[in-house]
């Protein structure tokens, strides 16, 4: 029967389930063993599955993805944790030059079923370099998938799908949501699709597109609009790569107005790709300019100014109103 | 096929360990005799550091700063480094060298600002040329190497001092930095602050190398260990290395062996991965009491001085808290004002939005 | 008086000029000394300025940017060469976590006037990993500039500007253009602006936006259109970051139709950001969907299939016609 | 402050060098006596490799393949490695180990395909579990370490063998790989193919370490040098390391000292950075003639065998060229067909465009 889980509980439950189902699933990363990770996402797994399936590594971020590439070539399904997304940059070389290419460059002889997990985003008063969101850089890398859950149930189903997927998946966990709420999660081993948006609420007046922790401010803004009798589709993109534009295009065809919300800097963010497709395949549906409510094109400030950097409900509301009033 | 071996040249390398052989060591008193003023200076710096750390932890507990990393038990390493450096040398720290930063002139209020989530904390008034706290483990080693290269190219007899943790020695960029420093015989000293832990990962699982000092062998320069709870030894070994570097002798790796008596940070609970027994055993060797005992034994220190010093430090830190908390808040729009020397036109609209949304103009 | 230079000659000439003007300018990288780089971009500099200003480094791509950060903090203006863009990934950590942030995080106490050069793009039958184009990943990093020259004269003026700029600049050199043509370049030390597009030809019927080596196919397509009496604005973006949308928006306001051409994979490419701004500030000018002619969302193939991957004159033409015929 | 030093434990490390003491060394003949069949096998493999390299260079000159990296003068390293490995072990090569790849069953035609810019060249029929050529320097070390970790976790007594160049030892990811291999005592052997050059950068400017073998000291496992132009010594030292790893003895770093007689690649002109004198001096020690002389001295080899072998190798390589050039061209749309196990719906339109543009369907 269902259990009330937080998002980080759901991550742990999904990993445990995958490890139960498949001996090839192992976990690697800094501090994932004894303490179960700095966010406790792997808490208890080391005692339950043993230190040969939950491996504490040295501080070697250039190594992790490549290590997983080697493990995967030999039949394992490694789950590698980067302690914070800001420390994932050294993994980009192996992600782009090897993980995303191995299947293609060997015509399928060697494959790369790995999962790279990282807590991502800001809003928790963390130290410098602990609040990064650069999913857009990952989404530009061919041959990989990028997934971002926005709820405990999604974290469970999507992470299971990611672990079972035959190709590399980067799984970004909005740390602001880790313990912000609980929901019923049934540990039934059921996975969720890795190529589909999820519509969180429906309406015909406006399409709000977002993902990760920004779903909170976006839904709050949608509620405020609803109070004024304006109904918005709120779409959680979920799979940043591959991007399910079919769902978004269908929504905008109905509403004619779209605002995209994300925490990462605006320029070159994933919002740009969504707006670009709207400017092409969706142009004839557009009744108003496509708005973007995002982090600014600055270095993400230390936590003192973070609230002024991140999209707020008010900012979403203002841009949504502008889109609605456009004629 | 052993019979094919007819040649067997063997290269040999040495890694020394230096320090006292425990409290009250004769050599200790020798050196006490030589420069008590300096010793008392280092003692005061260690006590100030400990007072700062205790206050910072308290401020975090009450939500007045964010996550903080205490250097409790490791004061001798940072203070020993700071004491060995010349003012014109450049310190490139990790995030646990407040002892060295304070000794070199960074204000405690500036450090509170940093941990309070305010960029102005890294804009300290002195020393202007030192690097700020570095959070991404090991990445500062590349900066320190670049600084040393600049010093070598200018031949200005300054030295770059890079502090890093035991866990940082597993980072590839630290190795690349050391290897290049060796190739160019750069004026740099890498000090590994080996506190036995990288969050929950013990030193032994960080590397199979018997010592971290021997990592220097891969880069072709000397490495040595020093008792990191012995501020006299840290200062001595580090300044030897610094002066050798200053004289063109090239890099040195100093592994200072100490112990992290505190949790990794205020966000950590060390009891999850190490026993109270282990920790209390290490308390016996903590550096502040160790030097105090020695000063007392030698008749250079007593109750009143101690009492007075504690009061002085408390006052300095209290004043720093007041200064920190009375700083005008950082203007939100300032996030644009140091992004580039001149803000590109295309960013102006975003800045205006921040200002319009109540981020009073900078 | 002017000299007929290739793009790689112009790069060398600009570096030499900057080294003459400022003793703080030094060059670092693999093989930049004795052989003057694998493309000879630094040929002769080592003998002319000495091995203390032209430094051969070990193969340490994680180090280079950080080394430059340290040199810059001490007053140097280092120019670091990555031998090929595919080997720049290990430099992203220092670019994003330090080079782009140093000025901001120290409130200007320490600055980072560095230039990171890399030959970029495909089309020269190079080995695997030698044809990458991921300027979009760089354009998403706050605090840096990204510049791509498309001609010898631009390479000269832009590189001088990049070296003199007080902030970090990534300078990407389309290797397909290194020796493809010569043009008059006056070594007068005059630099070009780092925040402006360059309009290569003007027309009122269509706006073609591109940069780097794709300017060749784009201009060729424009010629073909001109033969049919259709005049296109052809805009060379030049400075990928910061992006001069003012020029592009003004052009599209006139033409109402826009096609963007780049070699990098489509999803999350810089073309997406340009189209996104058109979908917002430029929407009312758009008479047709914004087309993108790009590399496909695949791993860039080894050179055997590269011609089928890269944008061709024909592909540009087809998408341009579609935009022109749209009503 | 030297007087503070009252403790000085010194750790000592050794780096041996093994091999013949030159042509005709007594030990050489000893071992010749022991296993001439195997020696002749290695000799044939070296000659085939040299024939392959010569042909590949010729194919590049006439534009029938792209840039190519010859292993001229280094054949003993790759062949020695290949001879020391068991079929079930995994080779994780750089891009200059064609000698080992051919010996392990990769077809010369497959290697031509690779250098001809065709992905099918890395889809070799045997050995299916070996890694393909790796171009980004040093990155393969992480893969080899992952492979070794898999072997250790499965306890299947297989060994991972990673080949890398002298220049690759400066890469941080190679160090991170070695350090982790040491921590876990993984079944892996790192063989540094030290050919004295990294394009134009000589070994001495790659690292100040006297030997590259000593880089193992930083990772806590043994490193040794071997005469890399002595295939018997390479095979012996490498197989010792492999069998030690197989028996749970952990990693070894083997530095094979050889010399790159060819240009770095067909795109390079080595005369820009090294003298003909230097190169011709090294020709005197090249591995193929060296083993041939020994075989001849021992009466195991003669003119006819040599003549016959050269003709055989020429025939094999010619046949490979024919096979390579008669391969059906790769279908353009295939660039989508191995991107993911199953092509996501959102990619179909792009694939159709490629097909429509004359990229005949795969
Ligand atoms: C690149 C990187 N990876 C991970 C982290 C998270 N983290 C912060 S401190 C730390 C442990 C560092 O250990 P050590 O180098 O021994 O320094 P210490 O904390 O013991 O002073 C880790 C893993 C980080 N800050 N940077
Ligand atoms: C990461 C990376 N940087 C640069 C290059 C360009 N490059 C190709 S081979 C080479 C030299 C490699 O030297 P070494 O490791 O000694 O191997 P060798 O070529 O001598 O066999 C370089 C720098 C590359 N392929 N990968
Ligand atoms: Mg530590
Ligand atoms: Mg070499």
Task: Please give the pLDDT value at position B2.
Answer: 38
What average pLDDT does the segment B80-106 reach? 98
Residue B6: the pLDDT is 47
Q: Do D119 and A107 touch (CB under 8 A)?
A: yes
Residue among D118, D137, D336 minimizing CB distance to C59: D137
D257 CA to centre of ligand 4 in angstroms: 10
Per-position b or e across D136-168, b if 16+ CB within 10 A of its CB: bbbbbbbbbbbbbbbbbbeeeebbbbbbbbbbb
**Cα separation, C309 vs B164, whole angstroms:** 46
pLDDT of residue B29: 42
Q: What is the pLDDT of residues D39-50, one digit of tens each?
A: 999 999 999 999
> Which residue from A30, A31, A126 is facing B67, i.e. has the nearest CB?
A126
Residues of A in contact with D180 (CB under 8 A): 57-58, 60, 63, 67
Instruction: Please name the residue of chain B whose CA is at the shortest distance from the CA of residue D1.
Output: B236
D309-332 pLDDT tens trace: 999 999 999 999 999 999 999 999
Instruction: Compute the distance between CA of residue D159 and CA of residue D184 in angstroms, rounded to an integer.
Output: 14
Cα A248-C246-C184 angle, rounded to 5 deg = 120
Cα end-to-end distance, chain D, whole Å:
76
Question: What pLDDT, in 10s, does the model give residues B10-61?
Answer: 788 888 888 864 544 434 444 554 588 999 999 999 999 999 999 999 999 9
To the nearest whole angstrom, how far is the Cα of B112 from the nearest Cα of chain C? 15
Cα-to-centroid distance, B171 and ligand 2 (Å)? 21
Cβ B16 under 6 angstroms from ligand 1: no
Q: What is the mean pLDDT of chain B?
A: 93
- Note the ligand closest to the C-alpha atom of D268: 2
**Distance separating alpha carbons of residues A216 and A211, to the nearest angstrom:** 9
Q: Is the pLDDT of residue D25 over 90?
A: no
Mutate: best of D218, D222, D223, partner B, most B CBs <10 A:
D218
Please report, for residues A61, B145, B185, C58, D81, the alpha-carbon distance to residue B168 in angstroms, rounded to integers and kept in the order given.
Answer: 11, 15, 22, 21, 33
Whether the CB-CB separation of D120 and D337 falls below 8 Å is answered with no
| Residue B5 clears pLDDT 90, i.e. is over it | no
Token pair recorded at residue D159 = 């060994």
Please count the CA atoms within 13 angstroms of the CA of A211 that sit on its side-chain side: 30
Is the predicted pLDDT of residue D177 greater than 90, yes or no?
Answer: yes
Q: Which residues pair with C132 in a beta bridge?
A: none
> What is the sign, positive or negative, of the torsion defined by CA atoms of D89, D93, D97, D101?
positive
Q: What is the pLDDT of residue B30?
A: 47
Distance of CA D168 to the CA centre of its chain: 12
Q: Is the CB of A59 under 6 A from ligand 1?
A: yes
| DSSP strand pairing (A258-265 vs A291-295) | parallel
User: Residue D12 is inside which H or E element, if any?
Assistant: strand D9-18
Give the contacts of D347 (CB within 8 A, at least 6 positions apart): A242, C297, C298, D336, D339
Please give the structure tokens belonging to residue C36.
């003057």
Q: Identify the pLDDT of residue D30.
A: 47
Whole-angstrom distance, CA of residue B209 vs CA of residue B194: 13
Ligand 3 geometric centre to CA of C238 (Å): 46
**Residue A60 to residue D128, Cβ atoms within 8 A:** no
Alpha helices in chain C (DSSP H): 7-21, 45-49, 64-73, 92-94, 102-105, 135-139, 152-164, 214-227, 245-255, 270-280, 306-309, 313-325
**In 3D, which of B136, B245, B142, A265 has the Cα closest to residue C114?**
B142
Pairing of strands A3-5, A183-185: antiparallel
Ranges under pLDDT 70 in chain A: none
Query: Ligand 1 within 6 A of A81 CB?
Result: no
Examine the pLDDT at D111 and tell me if it is beyond 90.
Answer: yes
Q: Which of C28, C33, C35 to mutate to test the interface with D (most CBs of D within 10 A)?
A: C35
Query: Could you tell me if B76 and B228 are in contact, meaning their C-beta atoms sit under 8 angstroms apart?
Result: yes
The pLDDT score that the predictor gives to residue B358 is 83
> Which pLDDT value is given to residue D31?
52
With a 6 Å cutoff on the Cβ, whether B57 touches ligand 1 is no
Q: Extract the tokens encoding B314.
A: 């408390």
pLDDT digits (tens, 9 = 90+) for B144-186: 999 999 999 999 999 999 999 999 999 999 999 999 999 999 9
- Of the pLDDT bands very low, low, confident and very high (cuts 50, 70, 90), residue D28 is very low
Gap between the Cα atoms of D251 and D244, Å rounded: 8
Tell me: pLDDT of D362 over 60. no
Would you call D208 exposed, middle or buried from its count of C-beta atoms within 10 A (0-12, 13-18, 19+)?
A: buried
Cβ-Cβ pairs closer than 8 A, A with B, add up to 104
* A199 φ/ψ sector (left φ>0, alpha ψ -120 to 50, else beta): beta
Helix (H) or strand (E) holding A233: strand A232-236
Q: Which ligand is nearest to the CA of B268?
A: 1
pLDDT at D45: 98
Please say if the pLDDT value at position D13 is more than 90.
no
Which residue ranges have their beta carbon within 6 Å of ligand 2? Answer: C 30, 59, 61, 83, 87; D 96, 135-137, 165-168, 193, 195, 197-199, 260, 264
pLDDT digit string, tens, across residues C71-124: 999 999 999 999 999 999 999 999 999 999 999 999 999 999 999 999 999 999
Is A269 within 8 Å of C140 when comparing Cβ atoms?
yes
Q: Which of B11, C34, B163 is nearest to D209 (CA)?
A: B11
The verdict on a CB contact (< 8 Å) between C86 and A97 is yes
Contact D139 A97 (CB under 8 A): yes
| pLDDT under 70: residue ranges of chain C | none
In tens, the pLDDT along D221-258 reads 999 999 999 999 999 999 999 999 999 999 999 999 99
Task: For residue A235, give the nearest of A265, A196, A190 by alpha carbon.
Answer: A196
ipTM of the complex: 0.98
B205 contact D CB<8A? yes
pLDDT at residue D124 tops 70: yes
Of D139, D148, D177, the CB nearest to A93: D139
Query: Is the sign of the CA dihedral C224, C228, C230, C231 positive or negative?
Result: positive
CB C48 within 8 A of CB C135: no
Determine, for residues C66 and B143 on separate chains, whether the beta-carbon distance falls below 8 Å: yes
Quick one: pLDDT at residue B27?
44
Q: Report yes or no on whether pTM surpasses 0.95.
A: yes
Residues C238-247 pLDDT 10s: 999 999 999 9
Separation of CA A313 from chain center: 20
* All residues with CB under 5 Å from ion ligand 3: B 165-166, 195, 198
Q: How far is the CA of A240 from the centre of ligand 1 (A)?
A: 29
Residue of D nearest to C38 (CA): D268
Write out chain C residues lying below 8 Å of B147, CB-based.
Answer: 70-71, 73-74
Catalytic positions of D are 260, 264, 273
């Amino acid at each position: 029967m269902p259990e009330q889980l937080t998002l980080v509980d759901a991550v742990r439950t999904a990993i445990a389930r995958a490890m139960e189902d498949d001996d090839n699933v192992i976990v690697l990363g800094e501090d994932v063993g004894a303490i179960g990770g700095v966010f406790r996402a792997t808490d208890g797994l080391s005692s339950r599955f043993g230190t040969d399936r939950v491996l504490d590594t040295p501080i070697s971020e250039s190594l992790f993805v490549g290590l997983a590439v080697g493990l995967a070539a030999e039949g394992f399904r490694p789950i590698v944790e980067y302690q914070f997304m800001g420390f994932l940059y050294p993994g980009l070389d192996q992600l782009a030059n090897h993980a995303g290419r191995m299947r293609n460059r060997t015509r399928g002889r060697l494959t790369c079923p790995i999962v790279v997990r990282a807590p991502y985003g800001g809003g928790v008063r963390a130290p410098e370099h602990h609040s990064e969101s650069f999913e857009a850089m990952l989404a530009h890398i061919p041959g990989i998938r990028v997934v971002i859950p926005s709820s405990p149930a999604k974290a469970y189903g999507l992470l299971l799908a990611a672990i079972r997927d035959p190709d590399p998946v980067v799984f970004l966990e909005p740390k602001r949501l880790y313990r912000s709420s609980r929901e019923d999660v049934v540990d039934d081993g059921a996975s969720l699709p890795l190529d589909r948006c999820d519509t969180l609420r429906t309406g015909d007046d406006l399409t709000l597109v977002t993902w990760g922790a920004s779903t909170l401010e976006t839904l709050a803004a949608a509620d405020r609009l609803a109070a004024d009798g304006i109904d918005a589709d709120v779409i959680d993109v979920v799979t940043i790569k591959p991007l399910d534009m079919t769902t978004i295009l269908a929504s905008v065809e109905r509403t004619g107005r779209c605002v995209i919300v994300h925490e990462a800097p605006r320029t070159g963010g994933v919002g740009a790709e969504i707006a670009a497709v709207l400017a092409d395949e969706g142009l004839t549906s557009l009744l108003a300019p496509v708005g973007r409510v995002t982090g600014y094109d600055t270095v993400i400030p230390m936590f003192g100014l973070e609230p002024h950097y991140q999209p707020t409900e008010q900012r979403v509301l203002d841009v949504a109103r502008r889109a609605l009033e456009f004629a | 096929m052993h019979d094919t071996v007819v040649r067997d040249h063997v290269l040999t390398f040495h890694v020394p360990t230096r320090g006292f052989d425990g409290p009250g060591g004769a050599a200790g008193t020798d050196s006490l005799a030589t420069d008590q003023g300096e010793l008392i200076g280092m003692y005061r710096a260690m006590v100030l550091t400990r007072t700062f750390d205790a206050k910072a932890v308290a401020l975090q507990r009450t939500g007045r700063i964010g996550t903080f990393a205490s250097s409790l038990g490791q004061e001798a390493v940072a203070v020993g480094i700071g004491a060995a450096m010349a003012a014109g040398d450049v310190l490139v720290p990790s995030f646990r060298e407040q002892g060295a930063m304070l000794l070199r002139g960074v204000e405690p209020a500036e450090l509170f600002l940093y941990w309070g989530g305010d960029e102005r904390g890294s804009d300290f008034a002195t020393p202007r040329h030192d690097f700020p706290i570095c959070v991404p483990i090991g990445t500062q080693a590349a900066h320190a190497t670049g600084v040393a290269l600049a010093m070598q190219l200018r031949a200005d007899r300054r030295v770059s001092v890079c502090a890093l943790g035991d866990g940082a020695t597993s980072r590839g960029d630290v190795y690349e930095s050391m290897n290049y420093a060796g190739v160019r015989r750069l004026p740099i000293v890498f000090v590994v602050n080996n506190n036995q832990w990288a969050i929950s990962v013990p030193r032994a699982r960080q590397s199979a190398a018997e010592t971290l000092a021997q990592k220097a062998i891969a880069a072709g320069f000397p490495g040595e260990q020093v008792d990191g709870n012995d501020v006299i030894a840290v200062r001595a070994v580090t300044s030897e290395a610094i002066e050798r570097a200053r004289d063109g002798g090239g890099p040195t790796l100093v592994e200072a062996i100490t112990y992290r008596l505190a949790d990794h940070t205020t966000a950590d609970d060390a009891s999850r991965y190490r026993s109270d027994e282990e920790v209390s055993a290490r308390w016996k060797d903590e550096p502040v009491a160790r030097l105090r005992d020695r000063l007392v034994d030698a008749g250079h220190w007593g109750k009143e001085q101690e009492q007075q010093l504690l009061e002085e430090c408390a006052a300095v830190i209290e004043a720093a808290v007041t200064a920190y908390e009375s700083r005008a808040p950082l203007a939100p729009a300032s996030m644009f004002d140091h992004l580039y020397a001149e803000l590109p036109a295309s960013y102006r609209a975003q800045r205006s939005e921040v200002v319009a949304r109540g981020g009073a103009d900078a």
